[in-house]
Structure 1
Amino acid sequence: MKRLRAGTLAFLAIAPLLIGQAAAEPPVPPGLPFAAPVSPSLTNVNGAILPGIQQWIDQVIPPPILPAPRPAPPEETTDMAPGLAALRAAVLPAPVGDPMFDMWPANLADLAPGTVIETRDITASAAPLVVVPIRQAVLFKYRTTDAHDRPSFATATLVIPATGSPMPGARPVLVNNLPIDALGRRCTPGHTLAHGLSFESALTDFVPPTTHLAALRGYAVLIPDHEGPLMAYAEPYVAGHAVLDAVRAVRGWRADEFGASRFAMTGYSGGAIATHGAVKLIESYAPDLAPSLAGAALGGVPADFEILARSMNGNLASGVFMAAVFGIARERPELLARMNHLAQWVATSPMKDQCVSVFALPGALLLPIDIAANIPDPLRSALAHDIYEVTRMAGRASATPLYIYQGEQEFWIPAEGARNLYREQCALGVTAVYRSVPGEHVIAAGLGYPEAVFWLDERLRGVPAVSEC
């Protein structure tokens, strides 16, 4: 019951982050009275909350008392107003007590993207979880880039099987972009592999058994913690940079073993956000990697947040969607300025460190997300459209072949977004394949998985991809 109450508050807290208005837009005047009693259905015909609701919340609930913001990392300069800077600092993830994940290196600006900062052998804790025989598991900390092209860092785990490479030459590597649907660092696969199973460990770290199957095949497996140190869930630039720099880190760490390796990547749902970001950033951010990237398979693709704003509002998926946009707000704090006081209270509470098993619960309330914004109709605001545009990454061609699959009966992440991505990439000249899979999100994940794995295996074995555009 306590968790349910916490989840309810989390829903209200994260909602306004979804898409508030731009700071340059004038706020709604405070003190709007209710013209009539509010019915249980708070929306008008366009799905917008009556503006008086949000204003009334700010009148009766005071803002939280925020501590003074901690000094920003040396690479991060900001011109945020003091109040917004304090709020932004308060919503960032709490430390987990492991410097590998918590400590911000002081010399990041002096390092090239992909430079290895620190490594840790975690074979003892990771081997029982991988199950199949492995030679070594290594946790990397490396330099990467945030959503605004500023130096940052990320972590990733490399699993090296006990068997030799299945083919002559350098051992191929599968980049397994897991669906890290999480706001706290304890929820990452890197933390689980380094510290063992916990309540925060995700079932999707192990099901489907992509890491296990690849290791059995003799491939090394690279598992990036692609949300970065701010746990910017669903931010595609952060995730894309982290994935590409993880590949750079492995290639440079043991150049004699992995410098000439062939890499392929995969991701489903939240992992597809990272894969989508990575393939669209190869050409501009990591052209040096293009010759070694053999292909990318992505399914259950949340490629267009504007579509998700229609399909995930006021239903069982609302909690997950709001958490994702809260993650984006950690990198794009203009979203934080559109939270009402209730939202600020909960976004600065322990809910900011929860995994999907907790923050998904508020979806059971079936409330529209607008209820925690400080403006009317936030889903159609100017800032909303800015966020839709930037996260769509439109017009960027993948520099590696693509295999895209999607459930035809998807109702939370409609197939429209994946089909649009396929058409876009075909028009840009990318070698691509699209598979429509029966079922919704979970069923499609299982039915689409075997062919996606077979396609990846061919890419890692050096078989050229064939386009179906």
Structure 2
Amino acid sequence: MTMDVVGAGEELDVNTPLLPSKDPFLRPPKGFAAKSPGTILRSRTVEIALFGRVSQQVRAWQLLYRSADLHGAPEVAITTVLLPLDADPAEDRPLLAFQSAMDAVAEHCSPSYALRKGAKALGTVTQLELLLVANALRRGWAVSIADHEGIHGNFGAPREPGYRALDGIRAALRFAPLGLRPDTKVAVWGYSGGGMASSWLVEMAPTYAPEISIVGAALGAPVGDPGEVFARLNGTRYVGLPAIVIAALRGLYPALATIINDELTPEGHRFMARAARSTPLGVLVALANQKFDDYLPRPLAEVLDEPPLRAMLDELRLGNATPTCPMLVLQPVHDQIIHVDGVDGQVRRYRRGGAHVTYLRDRYSEHLSLLPLSTSYSLDWLADRIAGAPATENSDRTIRSVVGSVAGARGLLTIAATAAKVALGRPLRQETIPATASTRARAA
């Protein structure tokens, strides 16, 4: 296997990590724009730690590679790639492309920073997600976690999360220490903001990276219609999340920037600045129950109805391109953040385009609980696709719970045991797990 590397080779970074804006590793090397998407520009070995403190016994590297922004212009991007501690690179294994629910503009929320030993990023979702991603490593899978929002934290932007994640997959497939091949089977997983990014990945794949062998995608609460979410959350305890999206998109959409610059009150500007520098968990506390209408001279509904903003919201909506891989979509019926109607619409749009979607709505879960509860179910479903089992279901079903069976309860115990290993810094070694655990038996 060949590896296209430009600039510095592998380096072991044993110091406190630098924020992305200060990290020379992330500086674009001369001539990078002439390289093909996914070309590795630099690589380094890194140490991963839970909450920046508990060192993880895994093999980990970071890859800087050539990718593209919203408009297709060349840019650099970074992914963190992982292997089980005892992985044999000569052994055949799949690659999991995991998209984190970064949900932030602030650079310390970037996975490439938040996952590292010494990172100061409390309140980031990525650090919590490590407890769940570890389950893929125990299955013997390689994992790629791209900074899908890019160096500027473009939370909510269309298309470009897909470009960065797909080019991260390309880079991982080329990185010799992972032992992967060009035809390695790739599974896709993400929840909430990560489910939205994963949706862009599978929507962009048929035209942007058709050579990648994506065998399936598990999309949890994948947002569906960000504009609808924005309107619903205004004035609620979760209003900080759309505020982060607005803070991110103002640099991409001139019409939005004009409204913010010309119409927002001074208090509104402070509100947006707080959103731009906060972690997802921090912003929920700091901005709870505030209304955008209070910071504008006219009603929010009137602002959103302007043609340029309607066009922006239409561009953010998922489901306007059709993925070619089978998909599992999981959504809480009583989701307090991502309303089930928006995800229903995303699934309908995929189906109209001819996509294969297994859609499960969970009655007993809500937004924050479904991610850990559905982890084993999602990974089992992906394991079935990796093993070559056909995705036979193409239906909508509302179930009591993804853990509402003996198999589901057993899977939850496995998740808890893995989380304990991560919390204690125990080795994450490859274990023998049945390749095709029956997810269908769990849908009680």
TM tier relative to shorter chain? 0.7 to 0.9
Give the total of aligned pairs. Answer: 370
CA contact (8 A) 2:111 2:126 kept: no
Residues 125 and 356 of structure 1: CA distance in aligned 2, closer, same or farther (over 3 Å): closer
- Counterparts of 1:448 and 1:361, CA distance in 2: 26
**Letter in structure 2 aligned against 1:229:** I
Q: TM-score, normalised by structure 2?
A: 0.76
**Letter in structure 1 aligned against 2:94:** P
The CA deviation at 1:341 is: 5.3
Residues 118 and 445 of structure 1: CA distance in aligned 2, closer, same or farther (over 3 Å): same
- Counterparts of 1:124 and 1:204, CA distance in 2: 12
2:304 matched to 1:304?
no
Alignment of 1:450-461 (within 5 A): 450-461=376-387
The CA deviation at 1:311 is: 1.4
- Counterparts of 2:388 and 2:55, CA distance in 1: 27
Q: Who is 1:371 aligned against? A: 294
2:294 matched to 1:388?
no
**Letter in structure 1 aligned against 2:161:** A
CA contact (8 A) 1:311 1:411 kept: no
Segments of 5+ residues of structure 2 without an aligned counterpart are 1-18, 396-444
Seq. identity, %: 24
The CA deviation at 1:328 is: 2.3
Residues 198 and 127 of structure 1: CA distance in aligned 2, closer, same or farther (over 3 Å): closer
**Letter in structure 1 aligned against 2:99:** N
The CA deviation at 1:374 is: 6.1
Deviations 1:93-146 (A, max 9, x none): x96421234x34443421211111111110476899786642x21111111111
- Counterparts of 1:400 and 1:124, CA distance in 2: 31
Q: Who is 2:283 aligned against? A: 359
The CA deviation at 1:381 is: 1.9
The CA deviation at 1:238 is: 1.8
1:435 to 360, 371, 394: 360
The CA deviation at 1:348 is: 8.4
Residues 223 and 124 of structure 1: CA distance in aligned 2, closer, same or farther (over 3 Å): closer
2:335 to 402, 410, 415: 410
- Counterparts of 1:105 and 1:375, CA distance in 2: 47
Alignment of 1:58-457 (within 5 A): 96-101=21-26, 103-123=27-47, 133-134=57-58, 136-164=59-87, 170-200=92-122, 202-207=124-129, 209-254=131-176, 257-259=179-181, 260-289=183-212, 292-339=213-260, 340=264, 342=266, 345-346=269-270, 352-364=276-288, 366-373=289-296, 376=299, 377-438=302-363, 439-457=365-383
Residues 350 and 419 of structure 1: CA distance in aligned 2, closer, same or farther (over 3 Å): closer
**Letter in structure 2 aligned against 1:397:** T
Residues 435 and 129 of structure 1: CA distance in aligned 2, closer, same or farther (over 3 Å): farther
CA contact (8 A) 2:189 2:217 kept: yes
Residues 411 and 353 of structure 1: CA distance in aligned 2, closer, same or farther (over 3 Å): closer
- Counterparts of 2:295 and 2:28, CA distance in 1: 32
Aligned residue for 2:215, secondary structure, equals: strand
Q: Who is 2:388 aligned against? A: 462
Q: Pick 1 or 2: higher relative contact order, CA cutoff 8 A, min separation 6.
A: 1
Aligned residue for 2:380, secondary structure, equals: helix
What is the Cα-based RMSD across aligned positions, in Å?
Answer: 2.8
**Letter in structure 2 aligned against 1:457:** A
CA contact (8 A) 1:189 1:201 kept: no
CA contact (8 A) 2:222 2:343 kept: yes
**Letter in structure 2 aligned against 1:466:** T
| Structure number with bigger Rg | 1
Alignment of 1:15-30 (within 5 A): none
- Counterparts of 1:375 and 1:251, CA distance in 2: 51
Residues 287 and 401 of structure 1: CA distance in aligned 2, closer, same or farther (over 3 Å): same
- Counterparts of 1:130 and 1:143, CA distance in 2: 31
CA contact (8 A) 1:165 1:218 kept: no
CA contact (8 A) 1:144 1:153 kept: yes
CA contact (8 A) 2:32 2:66 kept: yes
**Letter in structure 2 aligned against 1:353:** R
- Counterparts of 2:141 and 2:194, CA distance in 1: 19
Residues 124 and 408 of structure 1: CA distance in aligned 2, closer, same or farther (over 3 Å): closer
- Counterparts of 1:160 and 1:447, CA distance in 2: 24
- Counterparts of 1:347 and 1:248, CA distance in 2: 39
Q: TM-score, normalised by structure 1?
A: 0.72
- Counterparts of 2:187 and 2:140, CA distance in 1: 14
